[in-house]
Every structure is written in C-alpha cells, then in structure tokens.
C-alpha cells in the first residue's frame, strides 16, 4: 500500500494520499489548494490515477484543493451528505463505503466541530478531520459547531474503536503527525471529562480568535462545485429535453453513479449503470456500438456527467449530452 502524509505549514493542515500500489487508483483526503502541484507531481511519479478526493468538512482555515484537483484530473469529489449540495459530485452517508482499487474507507458522521464533519476509517487507520486532534479536539464555536454533538461523536463513536487504531488528523500545531485511540484516551486533556456538560464548559471557554482565512475560505469552499451555468456550457440539457431523449431508441442513457448511491435513489428507466471511475474502460470497449448513437449521461448533481461529456469527446460520437444539475433537480 502507498500512504503519504503532506503538511501545509501556513494552515497547519495534513493531507493524505492513499493507494493500494504503484500504477493503481488513488484517493486524497483534505487537500490544500496551494499544494495541488505537489500532489500531482507525486501522482505522476508513482504512476497513480487519482479517482476520488475527500474533504472531511467545509474548511475555514484554508481553501480546499478539491476543485482544482477535479479540474486537473477529472476525479470524483466527495463529502458527507450534510455538506452543501453543489460543493461536490458525490455525497456519502454515515457508515457508507468509499472504494477505490483494493481500498475501502467507511464514512463516520462525527458532527461537533461543524455540522458537516465526517471521519473516515480504513482498517486500523482513522482520518479524523478536525473532530479529534492529537492531544486536542476541534473547536466548536462556528459553522454550526456544537460541543455536545462533538462529545457524542468522540465518546460514542471514535473512542469506542480499538485502542491500537492510528489517528491521522487534518491539523496539528505542535509538530506531531500520528497518535492512537489509546494514547488520546490517556493523554488528551480535553478527553479527561466525566460528562458532556463538563466537555461543553471547556469548549465554550476557549475564547479563540477566528481563523485568518475564514471570511475567504468558507465562501470559496462552498462554491467549489461546477455551477449549473458551467454544466450547461458543457453540453448540459434540461430535464424536459432529457426526458424526450430518454425515450428514443437511438439514445444510450448512462447512469454514472456508484452502487451506494443507486441504493438510495434508483436508476432511471432504460439506463445502464457505468460508474464514473469505469467510464473510460467502457467507452474504449464499446466505442463501435456507441459511434452512431446519441449518448446521454446523468449522475447525482451533474458534475460527473459534465466531466463524462468531456471524456467522451475524443470518441467522436454523434451527439453527447448530460443532465444539468443531475437527479437532485428532478
């Protein structure tokens, strides 16, 4: 397995790159915009294909690299379902799996630092975002944070994991880069409490100043997704036109969502499922069957389908469209 930890000294942010091996698929957790070229360089050096990028929550102290990595690599961007709908191309729920080649992460909803905070568990490694830090915990005084929610996320979820579970946070301010559940139980001063009320008293009296980048980072991070206007520019069509095309026998309707999404919202009639990460393989294999057809893509919010139109342009299909706004607009 390939595992790399990056550090941004300006925002004290840790970013993680994970892959099952050289020449395979990769994912990145909590990227920083200014470090995008560094991630791309390593991906190229290790012959990795970035397919998914995850943010643990809407960050207030730096601008996320999700949008830039999507633009440069055509990867899927992912956050929890509580994140604003237009920020990423795929949302996950509590306990759902995020998969790439031979790697599986479980999404754990851990609100408190913010109301959209998630942690991600990969075997014995836990990526805690800003929920659990090394010898600390994430502040709870902005972005709908709540110390009682964070107490429950910590004591009812994360601290019940095996004590040997490694902790990889999104930030550290003291030069440490990894801990374990067992160490945090013993040595984290904010966890030495007997009740949620006692924990809330600590968190409500930290009196911290707002992050320097907050007024810039939060608005920017909420608009990382492809806007409807941009989606329409990329051969996006309205639902009315989409509905008419879908009844035509010469139209191939392709659902780009993954299995966990289809369980929540069934596919549209007469469509075939080709997960976005498998699209290039599918197009290469069936390009002769598709060359005289009109191809119409759709997904959850329109971002993957817009990227699919771009990916399919080299195959010279008669016409290629996608449903602007995705299924969320139906």
Which pTM value belongs to this model? Answer: 0.93
Q: pLDDT confidence of 86, banded at 50, 70, 90?
A: confident
* 63: CB partners within 8 A, 6+ apart: 32, 33, 34, 213, 216, 217, 220, 221
Please state which of the ranges 99-103, 155-159, 223-227, 300-304 shows the lowest mean pLDDT: 223-227
Orientation of helix 66-73 relative to helix 36-45, angle to 10°: 40
For residue 169, pLDDT over 80 is answered with: yes
pLDDT tens for each residue of 40-73: 999 999 999 999 999 999 999 999 999 999 999 9
User: Any idea where the domains of the chain sit in the sequence?
Assistant: 2-221, 228-329
Supply the pLDDT for residue 85: 61
For domain 2-221, give the fold: Metallo-beta-lactamase; Chain A (3.60.15)
The reported pLDDT for the residue numbered 213 is: 84
| pLDDT tier at 143, thresholds 50, 70, 90 | confident
Provide CB contacts within 8 A for 202, sequence distance 6+.
147, 190, 193
Main-chain phi, psi angles of 184, to 5 degrees: -65, -40
Q: Tens of pLDDT along 229-269?
A: 999 999 999 999 998 888 888 899 999 999 999 998 999 98
For 208-235, how does the pLDDT look when each residue is reduced to its tens digit (9 = 90+)?
A: 888 888 888 998 888 888 888 999 999 9
* Phi, then psi, of 239 in degrees rounded to 5: -65, -35
Report the distance separating Cα 177 and Cα 172, nearest Å.
7
**CATH for 228-329 (3.30.230.10, 3.40.605.10, 3.40.250.10, 3.50.50.60):** 3.40.250.10
Q: Please give the mean pLDDT across all residues of the chain.
A: 94
């Amino acid at each position: 397995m390939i595992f790399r930890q990056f550090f941004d000294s300006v925002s004290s942010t840790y970013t993680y790159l994970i892959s099952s091996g050289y020449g395979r698929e990769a994912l990145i957790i909590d990227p920083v915009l200014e470090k995008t070229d560094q991630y791309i360089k390593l991906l190229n050096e290790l012959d990795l294909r970035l397919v998914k990028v995850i943010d643990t929550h809407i960050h207030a102290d730096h601008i996320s690299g999700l949008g830039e990595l999507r633009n440069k690599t055509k990867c899927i961007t992912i956050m929890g379902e509580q994140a604003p709908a237009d920020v990423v191309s795929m949302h996950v729920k509590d306990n759902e799996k995020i998969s790439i080649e031979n790697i599986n992460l479980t999404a754990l909803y851990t609100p408190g630092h913010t109301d959209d905070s998630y942690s991600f568990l990969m075997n014995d490694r836990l990526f805690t975002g800003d929920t659990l830090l090394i010898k600390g915990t994430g502040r709870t005084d902005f972005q709908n944070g709540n110390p009682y929610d964070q107490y429950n996320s910590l004591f009812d979820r994360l601290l019940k994991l095996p004590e040997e579970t490694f902790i990889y946070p999104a930030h550290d301010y003291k030069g440490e880069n990894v801990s374990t559940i067992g160490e945090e139980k013993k040595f984290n001063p904010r966890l030495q409490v007997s009740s949620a009320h006692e924990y809330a008293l600590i968190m409500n009296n930290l009196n911290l100043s707002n992050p320097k980048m907050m007024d810039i980072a939060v608005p920017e991070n909420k608009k990382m997704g492809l806007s409807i206007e941009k989606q329409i520019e990329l051969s996006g069509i309205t639902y009315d036109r989409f509905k008419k095309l879908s009844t035509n026998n010469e139209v191939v309707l392709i659902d780009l969502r993954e299995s966990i999404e289809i369980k929540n919202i069934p596919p549209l009639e007469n469509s075939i499922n080709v997960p976005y990460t498998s699209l290039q393989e599918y197009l290469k294999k069936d390009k002769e069957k598709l060359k005289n057809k009109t191809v119409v893509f759709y997904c959850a919010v329109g971002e993957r389908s817009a990227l699919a139109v771009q990916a399919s342009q080299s195959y010279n299909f008669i016409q290629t469209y996608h449903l602007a706004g995705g299924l969320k607009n139906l």
